[in-house]
Amino acid sequence: MELFRESQKQVGKFSKMSSIKVKVTDPIADYLTRIRNAQSAGHKIVTIPSSRMKKRITEILYDQGYILKYKFDTSETGLPIIRIALKYDPIDGSPVIKKLARISKLGLRKYAKATDIPRIINGLGIAIVSTSKGVITDKEARRMNVGGELICYVY
């Protein structure tokens, strides 16, 4: 079974991602919103424009078990994209990601020292932190004793 097969079904007003020209002011917030919207609509796969930070966040979500699968690809126009297969609970069909919240925003950046990085749901969730060592989870940042910008919370 090919998980990332192109769907023939047209969703919304436009059939191809390349036909939509939207200027995004906060690409990370757009990334998180696309995942939240796809989950609330019950989609299995979401396609998102790619960047290095989005790729790293995707890898972290996969490593922590929040998404099923991902693939770095290029669109028909040659632009880099990320295809993410969302993960749902096999028993009740609810999304594995309960909350996906942007913390540091364009208008108000949030930074934390290694000792001040919050524990999400007492360690059950993760915070994604952009540090001088790269984009890492809160647990890795504490272990490496580095602080940085709090990108988002996931649980």
Interatomic CA distance for residues 10 and 7, integer angstroms: 8
For 113-154, write each residue's pLDDT tens digit.
Answer: 999 999 999 999 999 999 999 999 999 999 999 999 999 999
pLDDT band at 20 (very low <50, low <70, confident <90, very high): low
| CATH number 3.30.1490.10 is the correct assignment for the domain at 23-154 | yes
Q: What is the DSSP letter of 4?
A: T
And the tokens for 39? 């989950």
Q: In whole angstroms, how large is the CA radius of gyration of the chain?
A: 16
For 81-93, write each residue's pLDDT tens digit.
Answer: 999 999 999 999 9
pLDDT band at 61 (very low <50, low <70, confident <90, very high): very high
